Amino acid sequence: MKDLDGRLCLITGAASGIGRATAVAAAGAGAQLFLTDIAADGLEQTAELVRAAGGRVLDARALDIRDYDAVTLWAERIHDQYGSLDAVMNIAGIAIWGTVENLEHRHWRSVIDVNLMGPIHIIENFLPPMVRAGRGGHLVNVSSAAGLLALPWHAAYSASKFGLRGISEVLRFDLERHGIGVSLVVPGAVRTPLVGSAQIVGIDRDDPRVRRLTSRFEGHAVAPEKVAERILDGVRHNRFLVHTSADIRIGYWFARKFALPYEKVMRTANRQFSRVLEAQQRTPHDTTPEPANPGDG
């Protein structure tokens, strides 16, 4: 699919961050949009932004992608009225980090349900009609650097993002004979609400040491508009692995080419994080924030 002009395009997580930026960029490229997010107010704001710029939003539906029945009902309405789609972009996601002894079952379940089962619900409902239509198309799945690299405290989050990576790698080949391309987007730090709302279980985010770590992370963050630009470029060029920053591209290359040094770097990073955790455990207090909304990728 060389361009999005006139194409029917679905985007999840459209209320803010990468989802909103991608909606605006896709509309600017001529796509006709179907938008969804759990955050109704933000979703409506995105739709207004797109329309104010002359773009077309055919439907903006506030729903929870964890709810298979809700996704299915929405898909049936879209297909009844508009037929099959041309592009499907799974961008919605949440971030929950923590060490295995601090993560509770609800944390694991929440991040898997939103980041992995949510995209599966979208794929189940929208890809088979795309295949049957025989017009080709494109699937975008937003994973993460944590879907490529063993980042500290990311066990639950990486489970969801590595899972989405695995699905994407298989579908890349399964869908090729139908003319449907697949792009796996692997952002590092992105300046979105998700950065500030990411839940770090058992950690006081106001601790100066934690602030230093998060500020270092945010210092490498790119704008969501840049990520949106990379996503659309990946669609146009049928690029499978879509990097949004050079550090993640280099890190992934390093991990594949230099396994032993990579292991040493990961162990060093983990020790640094563990020192922060151990220091806070010496002065324990309840600092667990509420889970983030499933909006950004």
**82 tagged catalytic:** no
Question: Which runs of consecutive H residues, i.e. helices, occur in 29-99?
Answer: 40-52, 68-82
| CA dist., res. 193 & res. 38, Å (int) | 14
Sign of CA dihedral 195, 196, 199, 201: positive
Sign of CA dihedral 116, 121, 127, 128: positive
| CA dist., res. 236 & res. 182, Å (int) | 11
Cβ atoms < 10 Å from Cβ of 231: 27
Give strand pairing partners of 59.
Answer: 34
| CA dist., res. 131 & res. 134, Å (int) | 6
94 contacts 294 by C-beta, under 8 angstroms: yes
Q: How far is CA 244 from CA 147, 216, 224, in A?
A: 14, 17, 10
CA atoms within 13 A on the CB side of 80: 6
- One of 68, 82, 157, 262 is an active-site residue; which one? 157
CA atoms within 13 A on the CB side of 73: 9
| CA dist., res. 154 & res. 17, Å (int) | 21
* 92: nearest Cα among 127, 142, 126, 49: 142
Active site residues: 157
